[in-house]
Amino acid sequence: MTASRPSTSAAAPPSAHHPGLVLFALAMGGFAIGTTEFATMSLLPFFARGLGIDEPTAGHVISAYALGVVVGAPLLAVATARMARRSLLILLMALFAIGNALSALAPSYGWMLFFRFLSGLPHGAYFGIAALVAAQQLGPGRRTQAVGRVMLGLTIATILGVPVANEIGQLVGWRWGFAIVALLAMLTMALVAAFAPRDQADRAASPLRELSALRRRQVWLTLGIGAIGFGGLFAVYAYLSSTLVAVTGMAPKATPIVFACFGAGMTVGNLVAPRFADRALMPTAAALLLLSAASLALFPLAAPHVATIIVDVFAIGFGGALGTVLQTRLMDVAEDAQALAAALNHSAFNTANAIGPWAGGLAIGAGLGWTSTGPVGAGLALGGLLVWVAAVLDARRVRRSSASAPPRPATSNCG
């Protein structure tokens, strides 16, 4: 069969715009999403005080957003299977804008939990569909690089969006951090409407066809790599602001510098790693997991000193390129259920976003200190590597079984 990946290997749909403009419009959505996803973590001490809760409890707000992504990605991908991708991207950004505007107005902890859950619903579906549209722009030989360009919006958000949101949160109140994201989402809607290709809905698409991805073992193994392996990054990042103040001894106003270094690491990772991944996809994923495990394990040693924690946080951010690599892997193993598989990648990573802060919070709550999130994160990264090993062995087993199977009788030309 040659139609196993029709959505990513086909020629790009006709467009009056340069592929670079299409990728820029898609990346702007990533910038909006990245700003709210990571700024929520950096603003955690401020909205904790504003809502009258302690910081470990405030971490549940981060988990609520992640749960929204986990639930929303498959639900929206299946429900909108027959929708044109350009229209769907605009709709998803509209939902995202509404959720963040309501978060800015949240009157209590309970409402904040609900509004963050609502904000997370379109996250995974947006990135999944944007990745498929992006892959069509640069062609099958540069799919990971195209996805990496979209993800640059998210990584640049960690350099610019998050520090700005953090600074605004300290100066005029944490609510403005969410209000700015709502405005960025509205800007994305305008850019996608102007630059994204005007496509037609796939008449052959259906919810059942998308759900067929769930029958494929390699899809689940790929998702498992991200759900576990990426948790280490979030275990450290969720409590990085508090660690910088309590352990490194930085003033709160200086912490955005370290967050920007994390973003710089993610940006460099998404520029460098996709070039290797387009040649050797799974080995690149393994290398990123090993890098993450090493840099997370070194976190307690690096944390007391400004210079060393900057280097270590940069390396942790570089490992974030794993998300881009696994996005392309799902394109390879999902066959004709591309939309659901692409969206589920972000369910997996936001499962990690829930697991990481939860596991890190347990270690902190047990009295092990702020830097205990590093070893916890290293353990999660190594757990992801074990799932990677299972995925590689399973793929080899399937190839051997296919190679040893007797050829089928040539009866297809008899009628």
Q: What's residue 318's pLDDT? A: 93
- Quick one: pLDDT band at residue 404, thresholds 50, 70, 90? low
CA dihedral 122, 55, 259, 93 (to 10 degrees): 10
Residue 163 has pLDDT above 80, yes or no: no
Q: Answer whether 229's CB lies under 8 Å from 352's CB.
A: yes
- Quick one: pLDDT band at residue 209, thresholds 50, 70, 90? low
Question: How far is the C-alpha of 67 from the C-alpha of 126, rounded, in Å?
Answer: 16
Residue 294 has pLDDT above 80, yes or no: yes
- Quick one: pLDDT band at residue 201, thresholds 50, 70, 90? low
Phi-psi region of 78 (alpha: psi -120 to 50; beta: other; left: phi over 0): alpha
Task: Report the length, in residues, of the chain.
Answer: 415
User: Which CATH class for the 13-401 domain?
Assistant: mainly alpha
Q: Give the residue-averaged pLDDT of 215-244.
A: 89
Question: How far is the C-alpha of 159 from the C-alpha of 179, rounded, in Å?
Answer: 19
- Alpha-carbon torsion (123, 188, 86, 10), positive or negative: negative
H-run or E-run covering 164: helix 162-172
Per-residue pLDDT of 55-71, as tens digits, reads 777 778 888 887 888 88
Question: Mean pLDDT highest for which of 4-8, 345-349, 392-396?
Answer: 392-396
Tokens describing residue 121? 């619903």
Question: How far is the C-alpha of 52 from the C-alpha of 390, rounded, in Å?
Answer: 45
Question: How far is the C-alpha of 71 from the C-alpha of 347, rounded, in Å?
Answer: 7
Q: Helices H, strands E: what count in the chain?
A: 21, 0
Q: What's residue 293's pLDDT? A: 96
Identify residue 337 by its one-letter amino acid code.
A
Q: Which residues 6+ apart lie within 8 Å of 191 measured at CB?
A: 24, 25, 28
Q: Give the residue-averaged pLDDT of 143-150.
A: 85
Q: Answer whether 211's CB lies under 8 Å from 337's CB.
A: yes
Tell me the average pLDDT of the chain.
Answer: 83
Q: What's residue 407's pLDDT? A: 59
Per-residue pLDDT of 28-58, as tens digits, reads 999 999 888 777 877 777 787 778 777 777 7
Residue 375 has pLDDT above 50, yes or no: yes
Q: Which residues 6+ apart lie within 8 Å of 232 measured at CB?
A: 292, 293, 296, 356, 376, 377, 378, 379, 380, 381, 384
Question: How far is the C-alpha of 86 from the C-alpha of 198, rounded, in Å?
Answer: 6
Question: Mean pLDDT highest for which of 110-114, 124-128, 327-331, 387-391?
Answer: 387-391
Tokens describing residue 91? 């709709």
Residue 262 has pLDDT above 80, yes or no: yes
Identify residue 293 by its one-letter amino acid code.
A
Q: What's residue 317's pLDDT? A: 92
Question: How far is the C-alpha of 38 from the C-alpha of 33, rounded, in Å?
Answer: 9
Tokens describing residue 324? 């881009």
Which of 95-99, 160-164, 171-175, 410-414 has the lowest average pLDDT? 410-414
Q: Answer whether 354's CB lies under 8 Å from 216's CB.
A: no
Question: How far is the C-alpha of 210 from the C-alpha of 139, rounded, in Å?
Answer: 22
Cα–Cα separations (whole angstroms), residue 68 to 119, 269, 353: 7, 27, 11
Question: How far is the C-alpha of 180 from the C-alpha of 290, rounded, in Å?
Answer: 36
Q: What's residue 205's pLDDT? A: 58
Question: How far is the C-alpha of 33 from the C-alpha of 196, rounded, in Å?
Answer: 18
